[in-house]
Amino acid sequence: MVASATDDSIEVTMPKLYRLQRLAFFNDARYSIIEASTKAGKTVSAIAWQFHQVLQSSPGHSHWWIAPVYPQAAIAYRRAKRMFHGLCEHNDTDMRLTFRNGAAWWFKSGEKPDNLYGEDVYSAVIDEFTRCREESWHAIRSTLTATRGPVRMIGNVKGRGNWGYRLARKAEQGSDGYAYHKITAADAVRAGVLQQAEIDDARGALPEAVFRELYYCEPGDDEGNPFGIQHIAACIGPMSELPPVAFGVDLAKSTDWTVVCGLDAAGDVCHLDRWQALPWPDTIRRIESTVGKVPTSIDSTGVGDPILDQLSVQYRNMHGYKFTSASKQVLMEGLAVAIQSGKVTLPDGWLRAELELFEYEYSRTGVVYSAPAGLHDDGVCALALAVHEFGHKFSISGLPTGRFIMGKGN
């Protein structure tokens, strides 16, 4: 996008949008809902559309770009500021661009919906709308009442259990005033925006459910479960009676559980134990008596670091694994591959319940995996650590970091 100004006019060369982008944004619908693949060009399209709205405005008119959190709004603000440098005055504190026609373009966070009421807004973009609070949409809609301003909602698909998904279905059904558009990774490849090799790489690096949502706008039936409810069910079987060849240990924090999970040579769960509220010396003795000299991956985050140090004095088979957002993503993607490929058998009961309740959500830095608020994922973490250790034990090579396929009978 190229922009220039003289005393009498503003000349703007808009970015070249491919056909699906133009149809999705530059249409007559008041509410256009766009479910799109990551990196398919939805942000630049939305900026181009809203800039067009700003240019047609009068002095004092406000236009809003709303993102789920402040850092995401700041990304769009900086991008628009660079694009239209010289055509507007900028206020970095308020994240506001004010143009020569007197119209103001604001970039805001939807984190506090109550702060969005009161203004008259002439157009709005809701960025990553499936991750915004529904209360934010209610507030934004109220600001458009007097102006009858148009809205463009853009974002990836995120399960079926959110207001954004329901609103997109309303638009898809042809409700009055609504338009629905979907732009997939395949569309972006055909338009030359994405490379097929990059899509293929993402397919191999991400769990099936995550990939289908991020790149093909296909909501997971499991509402954010990374393993797949049907895949978990297919892995349920009796506890193995064979000896363990790999262990995973997740240590308790606060009211959590310490969980020890063992896998046999076929990759099936053969040991599963958990406990709460034991003094650390008792926990160490219990782990020692269970694990012995079998290769073990143990949570070494926080309090786990000194526990690992004590265990390592006598046992050289203990391998620490520190949990960060990135390392947990790697760990859970490895477990997802094992479950989805049917390479692990696990008993019915509380571990299955934890797996079925486990969730993922997207952030700017990656995919965040956790149990729902107030619930536990200690068993999931112990199983994932056991899968991780299993992969190390059998020296499986040729796979991305953290992706271990356990071979039954190999």
Question: What residue type is 357 in one-letter code?
Answer: L
Q: Do 132 and 97 share a structural domain?
A: yes
Q: Do 256 and 191 share a structural domain?
A: no
Instruction: Give the domain extent around 298.
Output: 229-393
Q: Going residue by residue through the chain (410 aa), what tens digit of pLDDT does each one get?
A: 445 555 555 566 667 899 999 999 999 999 999 999 999 999 999 999 999 999 999 999 999 999 999 999 999 999 999 988 888 999 999 999 999 999 999 999 999 999 999 999 999 999 999 999 999 999 999 999 999 999 999 999 887 777 898 898 888 878 889 999 999 999 999 999 999 999 999 998 888 888 989 999 988 765 678 898 889 999 999 999 999 999 999 998 767 889 999 999 999 999 999 998 788 889 889 999 999 999 999 998 887 778 888 887 777 788 899 998 888 888 998 999 999 989 999 998 889 878 887 888 776 666 788 887 667 889 999 999 999 999 865 443 333 333 333 333 33
Q: Do 201 and 259 share a structural domain?
A: no
Could you give the 3-state DSSP secondary structure of residue 134?
helix
Q: Do 361 and 327 share a structural domain?
A: yes
Q: Do 244 and 112 share a structural domain?
A: no
State both tokens at 408. Answer: 């039954």
Give strand pairing partners of 152: 32, 125
Q: Do 309 and 261 share a structural domain?
A: yes
State both tokens at 260. Answer: 């020890």
Residue 220: inside a domain = no
Q: What is the DSSP string of 218-262?
A: ---TTSS-SS-HHHHHHTB-PPP-SPPSEEEEE---TT--EEEEE
Domain count, the chain: 2
What is the CATH classification number for the domain harbouring 316?
3.30.420.240
The residue with tokens 């039936």 is: 221
Q: How far apart are CA 347 and CA 299, in angstroms?
A: 22
Residue 384: inside a domain = yes
Asked if 3 and 86 count as a contact pair (C-beta separation under 8 A), the reply is yes
Residue 218: inside a domain = no
Q: Do 263 and 154 share a structural domain?
A: no
The last residue of a domain, from among 154, 174, 207: 207
Residue 407: inside a domain = no
Residue 410: inside a domain = no
The last residue of a domain, from among 173, 207, 241: 207
Q: How far apart are CA 131 and CA 364, in angstroms?
A: 12
Could you give the 3-state DSSP secondary structure of residue 294?
coil
The residue with tokens 């769990």 is: 207
- pLDDT at site 405: 34
Q: Do 41 and 11 share a structural domain?
A: yes
What is the CATH classification number for the domain harbouring 136?
3.40.50.300
State both tokens at 326. Answer: 């990135």
Q: How far apart are CA 63 and CA 35, in angstroms?
A: 22
Residue 242: inside a domain = yes
Q: Do 252 and 169 share a structural domain?
A: no
Output the CA angle 189-192-197, nearest 5 degrees: 50
Q: Do 201 and 281 share a structural domain?
A: no
Could you give the 3-state DSSP secondary structure of residue 145?
coil
- pLDDT at site 392: 66
Residue 401: inside a domain = no
Question: What residue type is 248 in one-letter code?
Answer: G
Asked if 276 and 252 count as a contact pair (C-beta separation under 8 A), the reply is yes
Question: What residue type is 247 in one-letter code?
Answer: F
- pLDDT at site 119: 93
Q: Do 377 and 298 share a structural domain?
A: yes
- pLDDT at site 40: 92
Pairing state between β 121-127 and 62-67:
parallel
Give the side-chain half-sphere CA count within 13 A for 387. Answer: 29
Residue 222: inside a domain = no
Pairing state between β 246-250 and 88-91:
unpaired
Q: Do 156 and 280 share a structural domain?
A: no
